[in-house]
Amino acid sequence: MKDIKVLGPGCKRCQTTEDMVKAAAGELGLDVSVEKVTDYAEIAKYGIVSTPGIVIDGKVVHAGGLPKEDDLKRWLNA
């Protein structure tokens, strides 16, 4: 199971990113755990200054703006 964190204050882009992660994982048939992280101190620990951010299994793979669907699927399959 992949551990995924979506980092952001809860804005519309952050919610959309979370929905995109869940949809992509579903399309790929992957078993994932998606956690929304809204605490600024916790977000800062990952070195993210622009949200939304995506962390997969402890590794930051995206920061700032909505991810591209192709990139998201590639990160999930890695």
Position 16 scores a pLDDT of 97
Position 55 scores a pLDDT of 98
Predicted TM-score (pTM) of this structure: 0.95
**Which domain, by its residues, includes 8?**
2-77
Asked if residue 20 lies in contact with residue 67, where contact means CB atoms within 8 angstroms, the answer is yes
Position 10 scores a pLDDT of 87
Q: What is the CATH number of the domain that holds 63?
A: 3.40.30.10
List Cα–Cα distances, 22 to 16, 35, 44, 47, 73, in angstroms.
10, 11, 23, 23, 11
List Cα–Cα distances, 17 to 13, 50, 54, 78, in angstroms.
6, 13, 8, 18
Q: Which residue has the tokens 């622009």?
A: 50
**pLDDT digits 0-9 by tens, 9-64:** 989 999 999 999 999 999 999 999 999 999 999 999 999 989 999 999 999 999 99
Q: Is the pLDDT of residue 76 over 90?
A: yes
- Domain total in the chain: 1
